[in-house]
Structure 1
Amino acid sequence: MAPREPEGEPTGIHCRLDELLAERGMTLTQLSETVGVSIVNLSVLKNDRAKAIRFSTLVAICDALRCTPGDLLERSGQEPPQ
């Protein structure tokens, strides 16, 4: 079993939801209505406080924003692999 992360510890993943919404002229409310996910849950994701995301939710967000998971989520705090 993997060690449990202490509450409030960063996951090492950054969600670019704010940037993608701005680029597409979409609000969090509009995205919530489109994908059927609560604003609260989307806010947790966009503020990098999410510990997990369902693949079905990830697919729905990517479909609505016309992006890939790699556009939405990025590794933070590390250099890209060589």
Structure 2
Amino acid sequence: MLSLDVPGLSREDLTIGIEGAVVRIESKADAKRAVRAAYEFPLAIDTSVSEARLENGVLTLKLGKLLPVSNVTQLPIN
């Protein structure tokens, strides 16, 4: 879970971008105040189970982890 204080901003003022393990939070150009933050996590974020909530000036993100998938290929022995 990640929390960020953003008093005076509405849902429409903010954008949240997730790319792999990086979460970027920015205010739009016409917002009352400027907010810009980026966080990198050890595992990629699963956006299908993640959610964002804005209440009383506090943005809270509940982020799900994408578990790594093994790409091991078995090599036959001749």
Is the radius of gyration larger for structure 1 or structure 2?
Answer: 2
More strand by share: 2
More helix by share: 1
TM-score range, shorter chain: under 0.3
TM-score of the pair, normalised by structure 2: 0.21
TM-score of the pair, normalised by structure 1: 0.20
